[in-house]
Amino acid sequence: MQAATRALIDTLTKSLSTPLEEARGLPPQAYLSEEFYELELEHLFRRDWICVGREEEAENPGDYFTIELAGEPLVVVRGTDNRLRALSNVCRHRYMQVVMGQGNAARLSCPYHGWTYRLDGRLMGATSMSESRILDKENCRLPEFRLETWLGFIFVNLDPEAEPLAPRLQELGNRLAPYHIDRMRISSMYDEIWEGNWKLTMENNAEAHHHRTLHPDTLQPWMPGDDSHCGKDEQDWSLLRTPLMLDLVRAEAPMYADLMERWSADIKPQDRKETLTYVIYPSSTIDASPGIVFWKRMLPLGIDRTRVMMGALVPEEELNDELNRYNREFFEVLNPEDYQATWRLQKTIRSRFAEAGPLSVKEACLFYFQRYLGRRLSNI
């Protein structure tokens, strides 16, 4: 391990005993070091639970979607037994991606030489292989990875020895129960590749301190970041609370206001007046408001490229074309504002004079995220 990488890990380890009032941001090398990035892939994205989608994206037998996780091509598919599985999407013959995109199929068919697999990953057919003495058709199958669902979200873990997800998120699930996220459906989706290290996007989503300057006409009027505040370090997740200006939402977006009013009955009075952003490590966030939830996933594709996926969730009975369009247009206005920050940061962080600055108490969730990195990497 290079000395600079060892020093970076030591800095993360020190954060575990550093008080918030003395917190600094991550050092520049956390976003620039190729060696550190490889450690993140190995110890975070290949060993932790990663949100990859929603159950409704593979709702019926034969439904599937593909995704790349830490360089590993995966296909999430619902079998004829109605069970969701995460399978390797690499053919056991000559390494071709078996399926692409998303769809519905009775079997998974490799487009290269036509090998076919059942929806549970078992090999069905292999063309022109009758003379092979080494093909064990009965035991040939696409490798399967750990998969759990939580509130309708699909999580995958590449580590067969990982602790289960459910106990880790039990308390968070209890807090989110009044929002009925498990009964919500996708209203609109956003899926783009951003320039910039994945942590820049994760950190951007974990604080509202930037609303006044980066989102002066979009988020700041409805959700003033000046009055946001963070909860405590929950180790696997953290909470950011941002006021929700309901009178202004009523005046400018009555559709949202009506939705929030209809679905606020089970939510604590104080929580109805705020958007609760739950930062789930390593790479997901949930922005919960009554009747509407925005969730984001950040998957690294390289040290300076990130797949950013965002979804708007609403109760199934609220789905309609007008609301779907409104959510989509909201994404189209808001996301470019955040994107221009991440790609600019990736460039300027390379400055010879760049160094980690002090964090505001309103950026506490960034410090908690830093501690998560320290816990995962300190024993390497």
Tell whether 32 and 60 lie within a shared domain: no
Tell whether 139 and 102 lie within a shared domain: yes
- Residue 274 falls inside a structural domain: yes
- Residue 334 falls inside a structural domain: yes
- Residue 163 falls inside a structural domain: no
Give the tens place of pLDDT for each residue, 257-283: 999 999 999 999 999 999 999 999 999
Residue 222 pLDDT exceeds 90: yes
CA 124 to CA 110: how far, in whole Å?
11
Tell whether 210 and 348 lie within a shared domain: yes
- Residue 162 falls inside a structural domain: no
- So what's the pLDDT on residue 112? 83
Which of 157, 181, 210 is the C-terminal boundary of a domain? 157
- Residue 79 falls inside a structural domain: yes
- Residue 20 falls inside a structural domain: yes
Which of 115, 137, 157 is the C-terminal boundary of a domain? 157
pTM: 0.95
Which of 157, 190, 214 is the C-terminal boundary of a domain? 157
Long-range contacts of 85-88 (CB under 8 A, 24+ apart): 85/119, 85/120, 85/121, 85/144, 85/147, 86/52, 86/144, 86/145, 86/146, 86/147, 86/156, 87/121, 87/142, 87/143, 87/144, 87/145, 88/121, 88/142, 88/143, 88/144, 88/145
Tell whether 44 and 70 lie within a shared domain: no
Tell whether 279 and 372 lie within a shared domain: yes
User: Which CATH number is 205's domain given?
Assistant: 3.90.380.10
Q: Is the dihedral of CA 244, 246, 250, 255 positive or negative?
A: positive
Length, in residues, of the chain: 380
Tell whether 25 and 76 lie within a shared domain: no
Tell whether 359 and 243 lie within a shared domain: yes
Under 8 Å CB-to-CB from 218, ≥6 apart: which residues? 333, 334, 337
Structural domain that includes position 291: 3-48+168-377
Which one, of 99, 92, 15, 40, lies nearest residue 65 by Cα? Answer: 99
Tell whether 217 and 335 lie within a shared domain: yes
Q: What is the SS3 assignment for the chain?
A: CCHHHHHHHHHHHHHCCCCHHHCECCCCHHHHCHHHHHHHHHHHHCCCCEEEEEHHHHCCCCEEEEEEECCEEEEEEECCCCCEEEEECECCCCCCECCCCEEECCCEECCCCCCEECCCCEEEECCCCCCCCCCCHHHCECCEEEEEEECCEEEEECCCCCCCCCCCCHHHHHHHHHHCHHHEEEEEEEEEEEECCHHHHHHHHCCCCCHHHHCCCCCCCCCCHHHCEECCCCCCEEEEEEECCHHHHHHHCHHHHHHHHHCCCCCCHHHHCEEEEEEECCCEEEEEECCEEEEEEEEEEECCEEEEEEEEEEEHHHCCHHHHHHHHHHHHHHHHHHHHHHHHHHHHCCCCCCCCCECCHHHHHHHHHHHHHHHHHCCC
Residue 358 pLDDT exceeds 90: yes
Which band of pLDDT confidence, cut at 50, 70 and 90, is reported for residue 348?
Answer: very high
Give the tens place of pLDDT for each residue, 303-345: 999 999 999 999 999 999 999 999 999 999 999 999 999 999 9
Partnered with residue 241 across adjacent β-strands are 229, 276
Give the tens place of pLDDT for each residue, 78-136: 999 999 999 999 999 889 999 999 999 999 999 988 889 999 999 988 887 678 887 77
Tell whether 360 and 233 lie within a shared domain: yes
- Residue 63 falls inside a structural domain: yes
CA 380 to CA 370: how far, in whole Å?
16
Tell whether 32 and 181 lie within a shared domain: yes
Tell whether 205 and 302 lie within a shared domain: yes
- Residue 138 falls inside a structural domain: yes
Q: Is the dihedral of CA 219, 225, 226, 228 positive or negative?
A: positive
What are φ and ψ of residue 153, in 5° steps?
-85, 150
Which band of pLDDT confidence, cut at 50, 70 and 90, is reported for residue 138?
Answer: confident
CA 137 to CA 124: how far, in whole Å?
8
Tell whether 183 and 255 lie within a shared domain: yes
- Domains in the chain: how many in total? 2
User: Which CATH number is 138's domain given?
Assistant: 2.102.10.10
CA 116 to CA 119: how far, in whole Å?
10
Percent of the chain with pLDDT over 70: 99
- So what's the pLDDT on residue 74? 98
Percent of the chain with pLDDT over 90: 92
